[in-house]
Amino acid sequence: MLEISIVIPTYNRPNQVVAVVQTLLQSQVSGINDIQIIVVEDGSPSPCRDVIEKITVPAPFQLKYVWQENAGPSVARNTGLKNAAYEVVLFIDDDILVFPDMIRKHLEGHQHFPDSVIYGYCPYVIPEKETPAYRFLTKLTDPGNTSDYIPTSAIASGNISVEKKMFPDGEFYKSSLRTPAAEEFELMARLRDQQVKIYFNPSIRGWHLQPATIEDKCKQEFKYGVGVAEVGVKVPYALSHENLKKLYYENCPVQSGDRFSLKLKKGVKSLLAKAWIRSALLSFVKGMERIIPIYGILIPFYRLLAGLNVFSGVREGLKKFGSPSA
């Protein structure tokens, strides 16, 4: 029998999470016996229980609402895992509008690659008019058109599925980590150490409702940097993952073993990453987008802004969580 549980952690987005559930209910379900949707409310000031419970749910869907005190997305996902009735568990963020074949493709992935983690791609919603920022952001993440399940060591949490038996303690993401990037890096390192296979299929898709603007990208990169710092401090074994190691040590304060060129790079970034300079640079770039919206001219500014915000996020995270690990 084909069965799946779908976990949607949510915080203070009642209308948006309803839209996510509604797109799930329009999925291709032929041959699937049961689909359990679990909405996990992470202590939202504006709970979505009332609107969720008003949704009409046709077979083979079931809809379950779970409330928890605010504890962050890691705990919310783990709560969903513990409430899952079926072996295959798909996690979807509360800002992802799934494509009709997403559920089926995740189930197919676990049939072909048992005891594995499978994730898909979440492109930005296409704007009415393509902007330089949208073009830049989509090129950063564009995986191409393949429908293959590609072995990888990375993960992304927008739509990701596992088998419940792989996490008997109910700890898919590490509950002590509160920042999105932190939980993902720790999971990548843990899965690698446990020799768990990870597969990425670019054709498993859901529209990402995040604004495709450089301003929003700066906010994301800052949070990403905070997450890099959190995982580096709290679970230093994760620094064995090459991607995290590079991000962490290139953006943390100068270390005694840093080569001269890295020390110089960190010094320049420290000057440019000051809040008022980042704000002024962002205002300048937004002005450029209005006056000279030429992709080739704006690319270096986009890259600079993204890098400075990761750098600032790491530094902020180290202030919050502690000193760099040795």
Choose the final residue of a domain: 208, 224, 246.
208
Are residue 108 and residue 228 in the same domain, yes or no? no
Are residue 192 and residue 307 in the same domain, yes or no? no
In-domain check, residue 94? yes
pLDDT per position as a tens digit, 83-101: 999 999 999 999 999 999 9
In-domain check, residue 274? yes
In-domain check, residue 185? yes
Share of the chain above pLDDT 70, in %: 99
Confidence of residue 309 (pLDDT cuts 50, 70, 90): very high
Are residue 243 and residue 139 in the same domain, yes or no? no
Choose the final residue of a domain: 208, 242, 274.
208
Are residue 162 and residue 204 in the same domain, yes or no? yes
195-228 CB burial, b ≥16 within 10 A, e <16: eeebbbbbbbbbbbbbbbbbeebbebbbbbbbbb
CB 7 within 8 A of CB 40: yes
Are residue 121 and residue 241 in the same domain, yes or no? no
The whole-angstrom separation of Cα 206 and Cα 20 is: 10
Compute how many other C-beta atoms are within 10 angstroms of the C-beta atom of residue 312. Answer: 23
Are residue 152 and residue 232 in the same domain, yes or no? no
In-domain check, residue 232? yes
Are residue 242 and residue 177 in the same domain, yes or no? no
In-domain check, residue 23? yes
Report whether pLDDT(213) > 50. yes
Domain count, the chain: 2
Indicate which CATH number applies to the domain containing 64. 3.90.550.10
Are residue 134 and residue 81 in the same domain, yes or no? yes
Are residue 184 and residue 221 in the same domain, yes or no? no
Report whether pLDDT(323) > 80. no
Are residue 14 and residue 161 in the same domain, yes or no? yes
| Radius of gyration over every alpha carbon of the chain, rounded to an integer in angstroms | 20
Mean pLDDT computed over 178-206: 93
In-domain check, residue 326? no
The whole-angstrom separation of Cα 281 and Cα 306 is: 11
Are residue 294 and residue 175 in the same domain, yes or no? no
Query: Which residues span the domain enclosing 152?
Result: 3-208
Are residue 71 and residue 99 in the same domain, yes or no? yes
pLDDT per position as a tens digit, 222-274: 999 999 999 999 998 888 888 888 999 999 998 888 899 999 999 999 999 99
Say which range, 92-101, 102-111, 124-133, 197-206, has the weakest mean pLDDT: 124-133
